[in-house]
A and B are shown apart, each in its own frame.
Chain A
């Protein structure tokens, strides 16, 4: 009898131990209905000085809180309001069935009735003003200026830098396009659904006295329902250019995974993620891997024999740049990959990464546990699951070195908002080419990148995986400046859901 009782007792104890352990893990992973991202995770000062400890949200206007006179609200990090705009754009977002340029019908989201949305063009130094109205997107929308280092209030992240723009509402973005280059814009509200289904467009900032034309074309790649498109078209997409012309092809990857880009002949990589490459040399028999969210400007020359130059984006689509009616021979993907770590000629970084003020680790792994109450095997950052992830704290002017290590079993396109970082090394091999500035970096499984940046744009900035499904599943951290707080909250009345 006693033995039987002991058995029952042991069974109860073992059960309690299992249930309590799992219950506790589940309980602590649950998120309140509304929270500030600045209250999330654990501060990481990267070996630099700690601030007064006032990271965190404020219910009202942080700048006016007593005793926190130095705290700046994200809301106030804007361009000068009085300056008149050089470029004004009106956009209307809708959820609808629409027709791609290829003729295919898609159930998704549009801007001004189409997807990709309108190309926005500006000249370097222009103040761009974009007014967007949400006509019929039930979840609300925002616009994030991917790759443009805008003031924080214009970054367009729902629940971090603004509230989602609900149906019937509108919002105006204002920023100075300081750097010429190829960028794109997309919703950062329920982005894992809205971007995949079409709520995005391209943004090109020209150096003064240039515009998109015969020598400068766009190639926005996107998959709608598994069908790859270039500028909304399928298969071989012709672009007219005379023989002998050098053409800049601006490839924008709006997908959740990397794409491979190559040419039938030689090409040069003129720019990566909106930054010009110094000393680009001709690339032969190599393909370029373009990170999700990344951009690359390739230069091809239209052959003189009347045929077209082929810029292939994956096997299914290509831009054929040549005289009207011209064709180009099919080009299988070359066996070798172009390594940007050693491409181009060395140049000045403008700062010394060796004198870093802060050093951070961003180790991506994968482990079982609970995220927001859901059991599963989830992405981890520095061994912990969202929301228990690092909050990288910096001060304005800091030189920051970040080590991104991926041991998660899958590739991750890492995207830092509001800044560009320069690659210092990969797997311990120092960068030897042109300064490789990125805002979207393809980090393969098993790779370790060291990147450096200058913290020169105060705010609260997402630093996340641009495979937007991965972001939704918790692969999101933030870079936060000491003394900056946000009045916005994830969830709440605006139903902010940035991922």
Chain B
């Protein structure tokens, strides 16, 4: 048990230092992983010992409170061992990726994750629902699952409601907007396209360039570049104009309002198209981690409820 406690203390101290100095990256370092692995080894041994002890106690006094307490403590340790093994399985076999999808787009899951059952995910619609005050109330990706071109089912993925299909989980992770713009190119062609924030447009008939800086759903100059709410109550596209490297100015354009870049050269922002960002994951260790978590919770409750009875010191008097 001493070794185990030393490992516990080391993990605690390492976590604290890691959290202060290297948040995020520290916990991926080999040193920290080694500590967790040592904990797993130690707890595996101590749990095996506990199993023997509990069995012996069961044979001696099967229904005593002490036996249940021991069982509780055993389950608590066993739960942690299962969680650590499940975590180890994730770090070896787990896969996770993020996918960006606009409405109508499809993704072949076998191209994203190394999985046995191939299927295709198609985004039908991404939408944001709002509260009365304009704050977001839910982000929803309506998707269709296809197998060999055949529609299997339609599912709504939203925050707290992931998709779970054939060992793949998909979570509503983030979202963004593509900005639609129309302008005449140098070849004299009418061009209309979807652009990411930060894209640079080169309209014809001028040396000037237009940088699409940011989409602001609810613009108010008093809030600067920050939107008042996510609800598109007053949508604007923030853009800037350059000539060579020289910055000429910045503006906030409404949809479908032609912006004059140079004499008789216009760019029109016609709207935005939302896209969803889904986190897709394959984690064979997840069932084990969940079982471990439940075992731990059962164990800790049992151990507490069966804690040795104590007489109050009022009773002593």
Q: Bound pair: A and B? A: no
Q: Which residues of B contact A (CB under 8 A)?
A: none
